[in-house]
Structure 1
Amino acid sequence: MSAETPVCQLLERQDADYRGWLWVAPPRDRWLEGGEGELLAADRAVLDAWSARGRPTHTPFEAADPAPPGVVLFWPKAHALGEWWLLWLCARLPTGTPLQVVGENQGGIKRVLKVLAALGLGCRKVDSARRCTLFASRLARLDIAPDAAWTAFEAEGLTLASHPGVFGHGKLDDGTRLLLERLPEVLPSEGEALDMGCGDGILAAWLARRGLDITAVDVNGFAVEATRRTLAANGLSGEARHGDVFAGLEGRRFDAIVSNPPFHQERAIDYGPAGRLIREAPAHLRPGGQLVLVANAFLPYPALLEQAFGGFEILADDRRFRVYRAVAR
């Protein structure tokens, strides 16, 4: 099977022996998923796809340290997250391990030259094609610990944990702020609530402080860890799950589902997760339970809400964001 994504197409044409290598934070690509080596990722959808093919997978939150013959890091859109991956790899893998870094030119891969130089790691260009570039280096011990990337900030009277690559890193998103302004008028102060796409945990913590029993879900493992840290920092309890939308929640029903759902996958617009959230929400709500979500005003969610719930209302619209509410029958 041929590679599907430009970065994997660039790798496919290399003469390197990638058997046993560690693939770090790759995109979904069936060529890669059906090939050699092991996966290191925080994206639940990617982890599940590899696991479904019987491929070895790891997350950066495990205690075990892999020792592969080489590493390929797929450079993310969030450059600070790419730098974190470099710090983690240098801290956890053997010194001298061959490292390749690949990414799209539009995604800022050429910045890797300066990043590696600043870390004291040598670098050379290996290849470029399909508007992507591949660099090579070797891992070395550094003076900066990966945990230094974790920060905290205050919002809505809560302490929020923050990590590069987590939505709203270091600040409260304006859409989330609008959603929080409307929640008190529609949500009860007891019952079970689901925070879908929990990010840094602001909604989960706010709901838990209000008195609801909280389950928080995110496909991004960094977001799940951030939510756990946020709840702990505020002395609140709740369950944070690493999952892809409702996977793993079969049979569970809630009194409320609250969300600021993502609509980007890297730089591409992707309505898939939000569409699944809306379509499947009625099956996870008790009668009279409600879905309350905020979204950019231009997104085509009204039709999805109408189809799934048979009706909805707009609680707020500031021309940039809308807060929608739909009630399960």
Structure 2
Amino acid sequence: MDPRSEVILRQQDYLNGHVLLINAPNDQLAQNMPDQVQTSIWTWNYADHQAFQNTGIHSHFSVEFPQASFDQVVIFVPKSKELLNYILHVVVSHLKLEQHVFLVGEKKGGIERAAKQLKAFGKTLKLDSARHCQLWQMQIEKTEQLKSLDHWVKTYTVDVNHDLLEVCALPGVFSQDHLDTGTAVLVPYLRQVKSGKIADFGCGAGIISAYLAKLNPNQQIFALDVDAFALRSTEMTFQRNRLNLTHLHLLPVTGFADAPKDLDAIVSNPPFHQGIHTNYDASETLCQQAKLHLKRSGELWIVANRFLNYPPLIEQSFGECTVKADQQGFKVLFACTK
């Protein structure tokens, strides 16, 4: 069991009634809650959401607070400070004065910084410090009027060969306030991508999807991500740039295996972070399974850190992997089905 969940169970006597676990890890915490607790989960991680549902736990996959009443809330600290600001705002917008909010997180995950953010809404008390984690309690002394998602979005402009794209990114989404180096290296090559039915795996704020849609408004774009905030950001980016939403298909996925079949191309700046931890499983699976999802003469385009040894994985499946670019620490890799 996740050490943060172990800390919650150590202090379970503080919990009662209908309790909402926010951003909870995929473990056995909900099944081990005390009898006086009715547990629900709010998560924006689709893989976790599916796992919770498969074990009979009531899970809400969304960027927005569940439409229900709760007696208490337990927030598992996210990696992003901006995302925690959004969550705290939403929580105190839905709860009432004197209700309790609990905050739990790893020391290396920023719990002490997060606890300071908690103080803006009420009196705080540290309940536990164990398993390299801390648990804090806050009694709400200040509620807020709920602000729309538009209030929380950050925007910036990407200029590729004098072709402007305005990017919208919600809190916690990869590269929220600037164009990351890997995508910047990849974008000039998007003109070479085969048109048709295209999947953007790990779509993030939708830069790749939107640029492909600008190049050819008639192609079908499948934007894939595990994160609900990424999927909503991609939709907002399309709306901001007045792109064809009828040809945008937003797909929450647990991994690349959930991608559509018979694709003309797969384009990706693949994810390799799971919370505060590094995890290359998703991107390695993409390299190994991409061919199964492509049509004949279908294309795979990936940008990745230079040190990641993806070409051999791609070659095992496609037979050949071409390095289209090698700059600023990133490689653009290309493969084609026969």
**TM-score normalised by the chain length of structure 2:** 0.89
Contact 2:19 2:40 in 1 (8 A): yes
Q: How many residues align?
A: 321
Distance (whole Å) between structure 2 residues aligned to residue 303 and residue 6 of structure 1? 36
SS at match of 1:122: strand
Q: Which moved more, 1:61-70 or 1:288-297?
A: 61-70
Matched, 1:241 2:251: yes
Which residue number in structure 2 is paired with residue 20 of structure 1?
18
Structure 1 284/224 Cα, relative in aligned 2: closer, same or farther at 3 Å? same
Distance (whole Å) between structure 1 residues aligned to residue 97 and residue 321 of structure 2? 57
Amino acid at match of 1:280: Q
Amino acid at match of 2:312: A
Contact 2:42 2:66 in 1 (8 A): no
The one-character-per-residue Cα deviations of 1:180-221 (angstroms, maximum 9, x if unpaired) are 12222x313x31111110000000000011113211011000
Which residue number in structure 1 is paired with residue 232 of structure 2?
225
Q: Which moved more, 1:145-154 or 1:275-284?
A: 145-154
Structure 1 273/79 Cα, relative in aligned 2: closer, same or farther at 3 Å? same
Q: Which moved more, 1:307-316 or 1:42-51?
A: 307-316
SS at match of 2:122: coil
Give the Å deviation of 1:264: 1.4
Contact 1:87 1:146 in 2 (8 A): no
Structure 1 318/129 Cα, relative in aligned 2: closer, same or farther at 3 Å? same
Distance (whole Å) between structure 2 residues aligned to residue 50 and residue 279 of structure 1? 27
Q: For 2:318, which of 296, 306, 309 is the aligned residue?
A: 309
Matched, 1:287 2:296: yes
Structure 1 241/53 Cα, relative in aligned 2: closer, same or farther at 3 Å? same
Which residue number in structure 2 is paired with residue 274 of structure 1?
283
1:1-329 equivalences under 5 Å are: 4-16=1-13, 17=15, 20-29=18-27, 31-36=28-33, 37-61=39-63, 64-117=66-119, 119-139=120-140, 140-142=142-144, 145=147, 147=149, 148-156=151-159, 157-184=164-191, 186-188=192-194, 190-211=195-216, 212-237=219-244, 238-246=248-256, 248-249=258-259, 252-318=261-327, 320-329=329-338
SS at match of 2:186: helix
Amino acid at match of 1:177: A
The one-character-per-residue Cα deviations of 1:218-252 (angstroms, maximum 9, x if unpaired) are 100000000001111111121122222345545x2
SS at match of 1:20: strand
Q: Mark the runs of 5 or more structure 1 residues left unpaired by the alignment.
A: none
SS at match of 2:52: helix
Structure with more of its chain in strand, by fraction: 2
Structure 1 280/93 Cα, relative in aligned 2: closer, same or farther at 3 Å? farther
Distance (whole Å) between structure 2 residues aligned to residue 127 and residue 178 of structure 1? 46
Structure 1 61/166 Cα, relative in aligned 2: closer, same or farther at 3 Å? closer
SS at match of 1:21: strand
Contact 1:182 1:316 in 2 (8 A): no
Q: Which moved more, 1:169-178 or 1:267-276?
A: 267-276
Give the Å deviation of 1:144: 6.9
**TM-score normalised by the chain length of structure 1:** 0.92
Give the Å deviation of 1:283: 1.2
Superposition RMSD in Å: 1.9
Give the Å deviation of 1:39: 0.7
Structure 1 62/113 Cα, relative in aligned 2: closer, same or farther at 3 Å? closer
Amino acid at match of 1:13: R
SS at match of 2:231: helix
Distance (whole Å) between structure 2 residues aligned to residue 15 and residue 194 of structure 1? 44
Which residue number in structure 1 is paired with residue 36 of structure 2?
none
